[in-house]
Amino acid sequence: MLWVKAFHIVFVASWFAGLFYLPRIFVNLAMVAPGSVAERERLLLMARKLLRFTTLLAVPALALGVWLWMGYGIGRGPGNGWMHAKLAVVVLVIGYHHACSVLLRKLADGTCRKSHVWFRWFNEAPVLMLVAAVVLVVVKPF
């Protein structure tokens, strides 16, 4: 079980690293001057590659988490309300990941009207979700 837990942590940390950096690329895309085609295309390429890689990291993170939960029974049974809250956070993280892919499509086709300031605030969400998940798992407040 410790190997599964260790690799779960590694993949979750890697997944979040991608979710931390992808919106920073969006900030730069929102600031590209009109007519800077090469810069825009380079940033879009970086964002697409990072999103693809981040998605690949999310799959084993989620699979290993399910293995720990269902296979080893971590968080199952009475007195494990923290797991329900953590699963809600996981659903939010998956939703955020999906939102990043939608925003990238809109940025690529030129229909995104969000400002760089909006993306700076958007970039803070995964930090809050990671803090919530870690506190729930370590402290187990309920």
pTM beyond 0.85: yes
Whole-angstrom distance, CA of residue 5 vs CA of residue 73 = 12
Query: Is the pLDDT assigned to residue 77 strictly greater than 90?
Result: no
**9-30: b (≥16 Cβ within 10 Å) or e:** eebbebbbebbebbbebbbbbb
**pLDDT of 111:** 97
Span 1-8, mean pLDDT? 97
Residues 17-49 have pLDDT tens digits of: 999 999 999 999 999 999 999 999 999 999 999
Whole-angstrom distance, CA of residue 49 vs CA of residue 77 = 40
